[in-house]
Chains A and B, each alone.
Chain A
Amino acid sequence: MTELLDVLTWIFLIAGSFFSIVGGIGILRMPEFYSRLHGGGVTDTLGAALIIFALMFQTGLTLATVKLAMILFFLLVVSPSSCHALAKSAINQGLKPIVDEAETS
Chain B
Amino acid sequence: MYIVAAAAILVTMTLALIRAMFGPTVFDRVLALNMFGTKTVLLICVICVLNTPHRHDFLDLALLYSLMNFIGMVALLRFTQYGTFDDIEIHQHSSGGQQ
Contacts and interface: CB of A to CB of B under 8 A. Distances in A.
Given A40-B34, A63-B56, A96 B96 contact: yes
Contacts of B4: 13-14, 17
Tell me whether chain B's interface is mostly helix, strand or loop, or mixed: helix
Nearest to A64: B56
Interface residues of A, number: 56
Contacts of B92: 32, 95
Nearest to A6: B1
B56 A24 contact: no
Interface in B82-99: 84-85, 88, 90, 92-94, 96-99
B98 A82 contact: no
Given A28-B18, A95-B27, A71 B62 contact: yes
A8 B77 CA distance: 38
10 contacts: A13-B4, A17-B9, A33-B31, A36-B19, A40-B35, A44-B38, A47-B12, A67-B63, A70-B63, A93-B88
